[in-house]
Amino acid sequence: MTARIYQPPKSSMTSGMGKSKIWLLDFVHDGPKPVDPLMGWTGSTDTSQQVRLSFPSKEAAMDYAARHGIAATLEEPRKRKHRPRGYGDNFSTARRIPWSH
């Protein structure tokens, strides 16, 4: 059983960074999922892929995986570049693209 440990990105629907400070441990399904011949739905008897554990830090998630013998891969988060801008920058004379309605 393998798992991946990662920090979720911020929601694209909001400008805030809520729920992006935690670390998640998701179990990865190794094999193909069987397809039901009648309905065409995919199914599985492996319920571990439905489990998502959250941790306050990366070290806590790695310790949990080590204690329980879970082979985990760590995905470091990519830091985004934040350029603070103000409303007055919309009317700057140094704008690259002219702004008009």
Beta carbons of 56 and 23 less than 8 angstroms apart: yes
Q: Would you kindly state where each structural domain of the chain is located, as residue ranges?
A: 1-9+20-32+47-77
This prediction's pTM: 0.69
What pLDDT shows up at residue 101? Answer: 54
Q: What topology does CATH give the domain 1-9+20-32+47-77?
A: Double Stranded RNA Binding Domain (3.30.160)
What pLDDT shows up at residue 89? Answer: 77
Beta carbons of 23 and 61 less than 8 angstroms apart: yes
Report d(CA 1, CA 49) in Å as an integer. Answer: 10
| Radius of gyration, alpha carbons of the chain | 21
Give percent of the chain above pLDDT 90: 36
**Amino acid found at 89:** D
